[in-house]
Structure 1
Amino acid sequence: MTAITDVPAGVDDRLARRNALVLAVAQALAGGNTAVVFGTAGLVGTMLAPDQAYATVPVSTFVLGLWTGTLPVGAIAKHYGRLVAFEIGTLLGLFAGLLCGTAVITASFPLFCAGTFCGGLYAAAHQSYRFAAADTASDAFKPKAVSWVLAGGVMAGVFGPQLIIATKDVLPQYVFAASYLAQSVVAVVAALVLLLVRFPDPHGGAARVGGPAPRPLVVIFRQPRLVTAVICGLASYAAMNLMMTAAPVAMIACNHSVTDAALGLQWHVMAMYAPSFFTGGLIARFGCGRVIAAGLALTAAAGAVGWAGTSLAHFWLALILLGVGWNFAFVGATALVTACHTPAERNKVQAVNDFFVFGAMAIGSFASGHMLARHGWPLVTEVVLGAVVTTAALLAWIVLAGRLRAAPQA
């Protein structure tokens, strides 16, 4: 396999550190908007839906927006630069808050679903912040840049719920309306923060420094390690979302309290993002393959613990293991993707990667309720175990074949 040796002319780890920190702040703000949707959309859906069977549709439309937005975000970034793509995302975040707030006030369920769909499109944009942090980074610093941005999720996990608590009763007759209007303000703040990032020239890279022209996607995706990176990211996100979505419902069905379920999810979210402070360092020391393998092993352990029992300790431990496992596998897979394309190819490759990853997330989100209702919690954990074992086997094959070696430094 031909090594990729061309790098952007402006590679600068000092700039990459600055960009990663700014993007981490933007990630915290944007992730807070996502937390508002996940924290309230189900409840608002219950109040607005014409039939209670449709109460979770607003959450599903958010996930659908996240999935369908990935390819357009990549296309806009390719032709006009990341800043344009990200600022369009924040504009959609502004619309999302305004539409949802108006929907609550006017009691319009379709308008509320349109608002959460816009929120999903915003999420598609901010999910690619992790790739943008690596644009100006050296190969050695890329994993740390990615993990620093994801560490912004820790603050999002705190900021989002606090925003809901502080604003939900500002308009007493319209519960949560003010939360969505505040979400619009937060999107505007995020747009201002993004102006501090120095993005590289979208038309720079290989063509500008005399390197090879961008390859067709079919050629790029013939790389076994890129296919492995996509599958590992896909499997880790799908397994995490499937189990996380089903866990609160399963906990209540097993006679645990709503408070117990909420605390379990809080610990899960912290476990998802807190390891980002050191995951990049682990990748730099041990390599993407080993960190991904550790993440898959922890995810398998989460499935095994969940399958073993339904006590509160089983649920909480499974959710914590699930969060840490997702972090290791997802950050490792993201870092590996960045090593498999040239600068001129990055936008289209990253967009396709996210299309598959968040498509799997959407399928997991839609499937979890049906799976839990028809077959129970044990099947959810068994599916997670099966997906992780299959993915781990593929990763082992790639490692044993010697195809996961890092690209040489330029």
Structure 2
Amino acid sequence: MTPHPGTRPATASELDEVDEAARRRVHRRTLTVVVISQVFGGAGLAAGVTVGALLAQQMLGTDSLAGLPAALFTLGSALAAYLVGRFSQRWGRRIGLGLGFTAGGFGAFGVVAAAVTGSVPLLFGALLVYGAGTATNLQARYAGTDLALPAQRGKAISVAMVSTTLGAVAGPNLVEPLGSMAAGWGIPALAGPFLLAGVAYTAAGAALVALLRPDPLLLARRLEAAAAQHSSTPGEGGGVPKPGTGAYVGATVMALTQIAMVAIMTMTPVHMRAHHHGLGQVGLVIGVHIGAMYLPSLVTGILVDRIGRTPMAIASGITLLAAGITAALAPGDCLGLLIVALALLGLGWNFGLIAGTALVVDATVPHNRPRVQGTIDVLIALSGAGGGTASGMVMAATGYPSMALTGGILSLLLIPVLVWARRDPA
């Protein structure tokens, strides 16, 4: 075919400029859509965190199984993390994340139905499905990194996470009005926040499916393939490359911080109710905790990019230990110290999650990233499920202070892992 007069084939450098401009444009749009979905997603995840244990305590009539809801929806999030990762690997972030949030919405409505009918089996099943929203909310942070440059990945993760703050902090502080509204409709008050979760998760899924175009992961793969074609380096064979050591280190950091955070967070509302704190005070403590989990993200992301992944991961372990000690020493009727403890708990988790996520992204490429990320998030979810289950048993056997201190000490295990990784970076 004869080229049009006055035209010439584009040079490799001109194609690179076009690709880079497209990458920047789609990256900005992706972050905007992720922010919208995360605002809704934050409101959805806050319901289970705030009243899940209290609802189980009410329906089961025992404190020893109060950690079961956290274990169930975290276990459900493990299965969802695997599926969302596989769907994203095959069809892109838009489909994978959209389906995950929608499933979480159906699970939340199922919890409401279980509370109305008093059905414990339905409650357990609905909590498993509700966990899909938690998994998807976490995996959405990866969408912001698909088109980010290596030196900007921490910041990209933080933008996705900080946008969760609005819904996540508002949710716990709406516990009392949502409970009153639910009671007016003949629904148990503790199920009220799950009504909000159902609407919020469904809205997050709809926003992603409708707006996340073009898909950032699929575009990243096309750009990577184009760069490989322009490269003068001969191919090194087919197949999808294996993740580097950093992926395993990042997974370990996130798993340990998840165990410590879920264990202490899950039992704090039960501990507070045993010392006659009202639902408003419980909501305040959990709201501050969730705010500390997400609000510092922009600063944390910058620190992860500038100071490094390893120093921030070590800071995570130290901060979580401080949270466990503070919670253990706080008198049961002292609201102020409980707020400080849960704020430190959220901050330590924030440090660990962003540093660990950046390590995983650094060690993967677009062609293996969703599959690896989904598998790692399964490990994180199972770690949280174990922490949630064990926390109720430990608290019933030894009390809240011992449980909180154990969680804080456990987080320090990430430090030898990081030291080993620095000595053996292969």
C-alpha distance in 1 between matches for 2:67 and 2:322 = 29
Q: Distance in 2 between matches of 1:156 and 1:99?
A: 21
- Separation in 1 of the partners of 2:25 and 2:300? 19
Give the aligned partner of residue 174 of structure 1. Answer: 187
* CA distance 1:235–1:53, change in 2 (3 Å): closer
* Aligned equivalent of 2:102: 91
One-letter code of the match for 1:100?
A: V
Q: Does 1:238 align with 2:259?
A: yes
Deviations 1:307-327 (A, max 9, x none): 445463543322222211111
Task: Give the whole-Å Cα distance in 1 for the aligned partners of 2:198 and 2:270.
Answer: 30
Q: Residue 43 of structure 2 contacts residue 196 of structure 2 at CA under 8 Å; is this kept in 1? A: no
**Aligned mates of 1:332, 1:56 — CA distance in 2:** 27
Conserved 8 A contact 2:97-2:136: yes
1:361 matched residue in structure 2: 384
Match of 1:257 in 2: 277
- Counterpart of 1:3? none
Distance 1:51 1:362, change over 3 A: closer
Give unmatched runs, 5+ long, in structure 1: 1-8, 405-410
Equivalent-residue separation in structure 1 for 2:105 and 2:187 (angstroms):
19
Inter-partner Cα distance in structure 2 for 1:52 and 1:390: 29
Amino acid at match of 1:200: P
- 1:367 Cα deviation from its structure 2 partner: 0.4
Match of 1:146 among 144, 150, 157: 157
Residues 193 and 315 of structure 1: CA distance in aligned 2, closer, same or farther (over 3 Å): same
Change (3 A) 1:272 1:200: closer
Write the deviation string for residues 277-316 of structure 1: whole angstroms up to 9, x where unpaired.
3111112221112222222221122233334454635433
The C-alpha deviation readout for 1:15-45, integer Å capped at 9, x for no partner, is: 3233223212211212211222333444444
Check conservation: 1:16, 1:145, Cα contact below 8 A: no
2:199 partner amino acid? V
- 1:319 pairs with 2:342: yes
**CA contact 1:289–1:395 (8 Å) conserved in 2:** yes
Q: Which residue of 1 aligns with 2:206?
A: 192
TM superposition shift of 1:47: 5.1
Which residue identity lines up with residue 190 of structure 1 in the other structure? Answer: A
Q: In the TM superposition, what is the alpha-carbon distance from 1:77 to its structure 2 partner?
A: 0.8
Matched, 1:393 2:416: yes
Match status 1:403 vs 2:422: no
The TM-score with structure 2 as length reference comes to 0.81
**Which structure has the highest helix share of the two?**
2
Residue 224 of structure 1: aligned partner: 245
Q: How many residues align?
A: 390
Picking from 268, 272, 275, the partner of 2:293 is 272
Once the two structures are superposed, the pairs formed by residues 94-113 of structure 1 within 5 Å of their partners are: 94-113=105-124
Report which stretch shifted further, 20-29 or 136-145.
20-29
Q: Paired residue for 2:324?
A: 303
Q: Which has the larger radius of gyration?
A: 2
SS of 1:174's partner is: coil
Q: Distance in 2 between matches of 1:248 and 1:184?
A: 22
The question of whether the paired residues in 2 share the 8 Å contact of 1:143 and 1:332 is answered with yes
Moved more, 343-352 or 372-381: 372-381
- Cα deviation code 1:170-192 (max 9, x no counterpart): 54322356654554333332233
Residue in 2 that maps onto 1:23: 34
Indicate the SS of the match to 1:12.
helix
Identity across matched positions, percent: 26
Measured after TM superposition, the shift of residue 131 of structure 1 is: 0.6
Amino acid at match of 1:189: A
Residue 388 to residue 157, structure 1, CA distance change in 2 (3 Å) = same
Q: Secondary structure at the match of 1:65?
A: helix
Q: For residue 211 of structure 2, give the secondary structure of its aligned residue in structure 1.
A: coil
Amino acid in structure 2 at the alignment position of 1:306: A
**Equivalent-residue separation in structure 1 for 2:154 and 2:197 (angstroms):** 30
Instruction: State the shift of 1:138 in Å.
Output: 0.9
Is the 1:21–1:148 Cα contact (8 Å) retained in structure 2? no
CA contact (8 A) 2:258 2:380 kept: yes
* Structure 2, unaligned runs of 5 or more: 1-18, 229-234
- Structure 2 distance, partners of 1:201, 1:245, is 34
d(CA) in 1 for partners of 2:394 and 2:136? 30
- Could you tell me which residue of structure 2 aligns to residue 380 of structure 1? 403
